[in-house]
Amino acid sequence: MELTTWNIPVLALRGLTVFPHMNLTFDVERPISIAALSRAMETDQEIFLVTQKELGTAVPGEKDLYRVGTVSHISQVLRVSEGSVRVMVEGGRRARMKRLWQSEPFLQANVEALPEQKDSEAFLNSARTEALLRQTTVLFEEYAERAPSVPDEVKAQVLDCRDPGYLADFLAQNVQLRAEERQSILEEPSSYIRLRKLNEFLARENDVLAFEGEMEDKVRSQLARSQREQILRAQIRVMQGELGESDDGDDELEEYRMRILQLELSEDTETHLMKEVDKLAKQPYSSAESAVIRNYLDVCLEMPWNTVTKERLNVEAARKILDRDHFGLDKVKQRIVETIAVRQMNPGGKGQILCLVGPPGVGKTSIAISVAKALNRKLARLSLGGVRDEADIRGHRKTYIGSMPGRIIEAISRSKSMNPLLLLDEIDKLGSDYRGDPASALLEVLDSEQNGSFRDHFMEIPVDLSKVMFITTANTTDTIPRPLLDRMEVIELGSYTDEEKLQIAKNHLLPKQLKEHGLKKSQLRVEDDALRAMIRDYTRESGVRVLERRVAALCRKADVRLLTTDVKRITVTEKDLHELLDMLPYPPALHTDREEIGVVNGLAWTEVGGEILEVEANVMDGSGKLELTGNLGDVMKESVQAALSCLRSRVEIYDIDPEFHKNKDIHVHFPEGAVPKDGPSAGIAIATALCSALTGRKIRAGLAMTGEITLRGRVLPIGGLKEKTMAALRNGIKTVLIPADNVRDLEQIDQTVRAALEFVPVSNVDEVLSRTLCPAPARIKSRVEKKPEPQEQTPVAAFAPARENSGDALRQ
């Protein structure tokens, strides 16, 4: 008696479906499946095979299994390896799972058989069934043609089969269908509907195979064309080898493509470079165009596109590096430390643009180098002095002969980093001509809002400069275009004081020169007085370059003496400088150190520091002429006119002849006539000299002054106070008159200078004259007839050539 229900073990299949009356072999690895097989072999060798819905489910439950499966007979079980068995089963009949009542140690369920539909003779012989069978045969033949892996015995059995139900199950078992489609056929009780569903699935599968065939044909044609090109290229290489023109073009192109892909550039940049490689592939190897493209690709691929150095954002470490490399410059170093602090608080911020402005030799370039060390950034230096071509900044078009990228791109490529510190040296010395204005080309480079996609004319692809830190240097801001200067934060570097120069010479210059000249510290010792004398009498500069050369001269002399004599140790004192460094190139400045009439010590600022500027005034009988000598500029000539007009308005106060502008000739002279002089800051010195000469009153000794004068006698502020006061101290001045508005600038003056000088703030010319003129008048006649002292006979012009050669120009 046939049973319609079973209580049998269950084997969950992954990706497989077993149909009735079909034989199937598969491997079993899961412990619950192996346990189910063992249980079935112990009983009647019957097992319920059902497909699970998801392949990834390791321990399926009732909800993870389809309801309809096949009750099958286990024909053979073979152990393949430890933990894996191979089983051969024969499908019995369709069945439905009523309840999965056991899940451990194996699956077991109550299963009921599905009724089998018996097809009648009339149905099997009907035209409708025959048409369906023929359609199935045609579809399967088409499938067999497109899928060559179908065995011949399967083809023969399909052609001989006339049972629709069996044919549907047989084809579903042997044709490539989805798991859901196989399950749909298994669950269908009607043989006709099963075969019709199978035809639909076969038709769709034939369409898929047709598309796959078309794609395969295209791939094959492309491969054939590629192989043909390779064969032709191989033939070309052989012929070029015979001609002595060996070419590795394909390897080169493949290398270019691989390097481009490895850079992981943006889509637009990668596409652009790939197009250039394709252009190169179409060019003859020895053509001029191929050389241009190769050069272009080499430049683009040498850029460090994805290379960024890790910044060392540590304020304390940066401060130590700056203090170690530089003495003084406290405000400048503090500003650099603030910049690093901002970077430490906001590492993702845009690169900053700083402009270090100061006279030559004060350490602008070396500060930038120290900043690069402190930040652990790569440093690339660009000297912009004398650059006149815009292409030097933006590059040339690659179509030109000898074209190359601009200096910005070249510096980044040289630094091997996308976040270097670029030092743009001498930015104030840029020029311009018919080839363009390089300063205008820098407007985009030095703008953090625009340089995120800088395009060089040579590369033609955007380069991100927002991570680059720019530091520029300049001696003056006067020649920098206003739009360019507006994009930079200016940091002023003033002149070094004599005390700062002394410390720099002791701690930096002398050890450096000793090392470069092969000397030990014990072999050469330079006393502080000797260094001070070198600073005072052998140098005239804001920085320390000339001082370093003087120290190097001492080291050379020491080398010679140590090698030619038995001396083992040399000590240089101030007295030895005359022998070692020859005559004084800058002797002590001529200035009045005693009370005289019409001679005043003014203070002047030059590019190499401050100096004493004497003002001499002489009054003679005449017709009111005013003579000005001393290589004066227009501003200084106007200052004399303003001082003279100011005194004419005060003739009654100072007992000056009211008609002096009619019956007296006045001569104002500034010694050292070879040196150009200009600026308004000598105004009160001129007024004092004129008043002294007109009244015959002597001027107090040990005084120096600086300040601009107006027609109404007001004293206006001036610049360069730090350098001027250092010059006063260096020349033995004790008291300095300064404008009252410059009192706030005294904080910037060195403490040594402030302690040694007496500063007298003045706000008008009356305060100046009351402080400088002696109360007892002297007769002008006796002063003129008095025989000059021997010291006054020394001609000032004797020192003019040395000053002229130094190129010093006195300014405000």
Annotated catalytic residues are 681, 724
DSSP 117-177: PPPPHHHHTSHHHHHHHHHHHHHHHHHHHH-TTS-HHHHHHHHH---HHHHHHHHHHHS--
Which residue bears the tokens 């940091």? Answer: 491
Task: Provide the 8-state DSSP code for 386.
Answer: T
Q: Give the max Cα distance, the chain.
A: 163
The 3 state secondary structure assigned to 516-567 is: HCCCCCCCEEECHHHHHHHHHHCCCCCCCHHHHHHHHHHHHHHHHHHHHCCC
CB 423 within 8 A of CB 356: no
In whole angstroms, what is the distance from residue 603 CA to residue 738 CA? 10
CB 746 within 8 A of CB 754: yes
- Phi, psi (degrees; rounded to nearest 5) at 49: -100, 120
Structure tokens at 256: 């270019």
Task: Provide the 8-state DSSP code for 651.
Answer: T
Helix or strand or coil: residue 704? strand
Task: Tell me how crowded residue 662 is: count the other CB atoms within 10 A of its CB.
Answer: 10
In whole angstroms, what is the distance from residue 421 CA to residue 309 CA? 11
Q: Which are the contacts of 577, defined by CB distance < 8 A and separation ≥ 6?
A: 530, 533, 534, 537, 538
In whole angstroms, what is the distance from residue 604 CA to residue 686 CA? 13
Nearest to 795 by CA among 616, 672, 662: 672
In whole angstroms, what is the distance from residue 700 CA to residue 258 CA? 84
| Strand (E) or helix (H) holding 68 | strand 68-81
Structure tokens at 136: 């199935």
Instruction: Let me know the angle formed at the C-alpha of 302 by 298 and 304, rounded to the nearest 5 degrees.
Output: 155
In whole angstroms, what is the distance from residue 549 CA to residue 415 CA? 31
Structure tokens at 151: 């065995």
Which residue bears the tokens 């010590």? Answer: 601
Which sign does the torsion angle of CA 58, 61, 64, 67 carry? Answer: positive
In whole angstroms, what is the distance from residue 207 CA to residue 199 CA? 12
CA 723 remoteness from chain centre: 37
Pairing between strand 23-28 and 84-102? antiparallel
Give the chain's end-to-end CA distance (angstroms, integer). Answer: 127
Would you mind telling me the total number of residues written for the chain in this entry? 812
CB 706 within 8 A of CB 728: no
Helix axes 683-695, 634-648, angle to 10 degrees: 50
